[in-house]
Copies of this chain bind each other. A is one copy, B any other.
Amino acid sequence: MINYEKITKEELAKEIEKLLKEYNKENCIYKLSEIYDEGLSNENSQILENELKNLLESYKKGSIGIAQINPIAGNIEYNAQKVVKYIKHAQNIGLDLVVFPELTLMGYPIEDTIDRHPIIVEENVKWLKAIAKITKETTAIVGFVEPRKYDHLTGKKYFNSVAVMQNGEIKGIIRKSLLPTYSEFNDYRYIEPSPVVGNQPGETLGDFDSEKIQQCEAVNLINGLKYGISICEDCWNNKEFFNDTTLYSIDPIDELSKEKPDVFINCSASPTRAKKEQLKHNMLSFISKKYSTPIVYVNQVGAIDNSSFDGSSRVFDKKGKLLARAKSFQEQFLIVNPHMNLGKIYPLTKGLEKTLTEAKVYTLEYEPDLERTYKTIIQGIQDYFKKTGFKRAVLGLSGGLDSTVCAVLLTDALGKDNVFGISMPSKITSQESKSDAEKLANNLGINFTEAPIKDMVEVTNNCLQNLFKTVEEKWNCRYKQSFTMDNIQARSRAMFLWGISNEFEKCLPIATSDKSELYMGYATINGDMSGGFAPIADVPKTKLFALARWLNENRDVKNAIPEAIILKKPGAELAINPKTGKPLIAEDALMPYEFLDEIIWRIENKKEHYYDMLDSEFLYEQHNPVSKEQKIQWLDKFYRRMAAALYKWSILPPSVIVDSRSINKYDYKQPITSSRINYKGLDEKTIEDKIQTFLYL
């Protein structure tokens, strides 16, 4: 591989010459763009840009640069630097247009921050105006938070807008009309929906009046072509595509289409979730075909807290055919010309590719989604660490599946030197667990040590037993069987990890809880569910098994995860099963994971309730006989434990949303005090009888 960052002028020239001989014009454009993305010296950039400019000469009209960037929320200077870089690049290579994702300067989402700290909105406007001044012939479309005119305002204080800038001036402003306010989206908390689509009329432009924004049509005329510009959700409301079931009454794309644009442009910040990609692909294809107008869809990449954006920006031609697609989970500058069919389709991360069939997502056949799952989490870890200024991770290695998969993901996200695995055996911990953990660490090449918790558990237990006696004298309500000892072990381990985090620079401890166990509240507060970040909190156990196998097959270093870890039955090794005399298996305390994960999947995706599930066959039942009593017992346990777990969900560390639905608290909100919901429901007759009883109470 050539190191382009350090290449000399002469070497680069030779490399370019070689490419020009070997490839046709279109491919040369992409080869050179890829080299540019590697990062070049200023001087080398100029050389390369001159070549690109020549190559693009024949595509001049309607050529567009898609700047798929990874912003930091609220860090306007950081984001603006990227904007300036790509505007300059687009100018240098002579593009008509360079387009950035939604809320480019602010990062999406910014949430209530702008309401409490309005100075950052002022700042993003200042930066926008200053950036406008450096624009030349190449038009730049940049997202920002637009403060609204202040006197006698109706509605929220801000619009989610993009500015169209050319020749040193802001030429037009487009505002988001449809505001997603569900799941991880909270747009309507801080943004006013725009009643007008496309270019906004000058009299509403407030602060920007002085910029002499031209009065223009809804669409923007750029170098002889008309562009219909919209923002993210604005393109997600086609009544025909969604079978007449839509979230909003207006369809900005349909409105824009009336102005007969030559191209649609949509600036987005759309995070990845299971099963979303196919829908997005089909929808964008449908729109471009329906209106016989190409669509350029520019997506944000990178993670902001719990949301991981996949990038994969793309262009569909007017027949609805995919013309170009940027890389997934990576910053990229992609040149396209929908007008002249210039575009390259980079491979999509697998799993983004296909809609999973219902039957497959709750069995162990998670395979189609594993690469996407992997990249989503890797990006989530990387960006959380980078954007908060952390670098190192420390985690407990139990020899179990959860901590194992976390260790692999951390290794790939942060680099092996930045990961420290600590085996913290108790007296229950088996020799195998210890050696499995060590084997794993060796295979990964991460730092590793063993730190037994025996002394700490003993002292804590002694202190507590005395304390319990005193408390029991006053409170005669001691449990006959408690989880206290189990929890002391988990908390002692967390104490070690947080200690290391306190003692070493830029180091975060990792919470290793998985989705299945969080649903069941089978995680210790201040123990395994405590940490600075929780990588697998949205991955159910059965999918973790599949992911472990996938990692063994697909990483450069094969089979890093010892087979024994994948084969053994999960168990926290916190307590001994009195029946077997061996460490308690999690499935004994809970229920078979395959059954559990199907309950979760049915609730989240099909919104099924208790009797829906009781009265239909689970995949697990196809190969395991389950009596009705057993099924009732499992379902009852599920709902009881889930209700009690709501508090734990509320204090879960930041995580990455992976699944189509999750319990991530920024994605799903349920009052903790709603824990006594009757999930079974009652029939009409019972309700009427109860009311009669109430009447005579």
Contact = CB atoms under 8 A, between A and B. Distances in A.
A463 B471 contact: no
A590 interface: no
A607 interface: yes
Interface string A420-434: 101000000000000
A431 to B, nearest CB: 21
Contacts of A467: 422, 449, 451, 496, 499-500
A567 interface: no
A330 B675 CA distance: 22
Q: Which of A133, A152, A466, A499 gathers the greatest number of chain B CB atoms within 10 Å?
A: A499
A460 B652 contact: no
Given A117-B679, A456-B460, A84 B695 contact: yes
A488 interface: yes
A388 interface: yes
B495 A679 contact: no
Interface string A659-678: 00100011011111111111
Contacts of A77: 678, 682, 690
Contacts of A488: 495, 499
Contacts of A331: none
A603 B417 CA distance: 41
Given A42-B697, A451-B463, A474-B420, A674 B107 contact: yes
B677 A74 contact: yes
A383 B673 contact: yes
- A interface bracket (residues with beta carbon within 8 Å of B): 35 or more
A480 to B, nearest CB: 10
Contact of A503 (B190, B478, B495): B478
B118 A607 contact: yes
Contacts of A126: 682, 684, 687
Given A73-B674, A670-B111, A679-B117, A694 B85 contact: yes
B691 A131 contact: yes
A36 to B, nearest CB: 14
Contacts of A109: 671
A580 interface: no
A499 B130 contact: no
A627 interface: no
Contact of A650 (B110, B392, B654, B688): B654
A304 B119 CA distance: 33
A246 interface: yes
A615 to B, nearest CB: 14
Given A117-B607, A119-B681, A495-B495, 19 more contacts: A107-B671, A111-B670, A116-B607, A119-B609, A120-B677, A120-B679, A123-B678, A123-B681, A126-B682, A130-B691, A182-B189, A186-B189, A420-B475, A471-B504, A488-B499, A494-B526, A532-B647, A647-B653, A651-B652
8 contacts: A112-B668, A123-B681, A186-B669, A304-B671, A383-B673, A464-B503, A487-B502, A654-B672
